[in-house]
Amino acid sequence: MVIHFLIHGRVQGVGFRWFVQREASELELRGWVRNTEDGDVEVVAAGDAGDLDELRASLRRGPRGSRVDRIVEHTLADSEAESLTSFQIDGAW
């Protein structure tokens, strides 16, 4: 299963990408997380439905200092997972 999440709120400048990377890696999910130019955080994650449910709960909670106002979620085609490797932060310095 592959899901695209777009997280709105105070999610940049608070360690959100590193939080997501740690949570997703612990769940052995594949995919990536990155900041958007609009101030949101975008996530694509692939794995078992149960593990994705756990990631969803973590995204709602966020790291200390963050505020998650809304999460927009879309299920992607399984073929989208073919190029995904271990969970990465995209665009980290």
Tell me: the pLDDT tens digits for 69-91?
999 999 999 999 999 989 999 97
* Whole-number percent of the chain with pLDDT over 90: 96
* 92 domain residue, yes or no: no
pTM: 0.94
Residue 32 lies in a domain: yes
Q: Give the pLDDT of residue 93.
A: 52
> Which residue range is the domain that position 49 belongs to?
2-77
Q: What is the model's pLDDT at position 91?
A: 79
> What total number of domains does the chain contain?
1
Asked about 35 being catalytic, the answer comes back as yes
Of these residues, 17, 30, 34, 67, which one is catalytic? Answer: 17
* CA separation for the pair 41, 16 (Å, rounded): 8
Supply the pLDDT for residue 66. Answer: 98
The yes-or-no answer on residue 22 being catalytic is: no
Q: Is 90 exposed, middle or buried (0-12, 13-18, 19+ CB in 10 A)?
A: middle
Catalytic residue (choose from 22, 35, 60, 64): 35
CATH of the domain at 25: 3.30.70.100
Mean pLDDT of the residues in the chain? 96
Residue 59 lies in a domain: yes
Check whether 92 has a pLDDT greater than 90. Answer: no
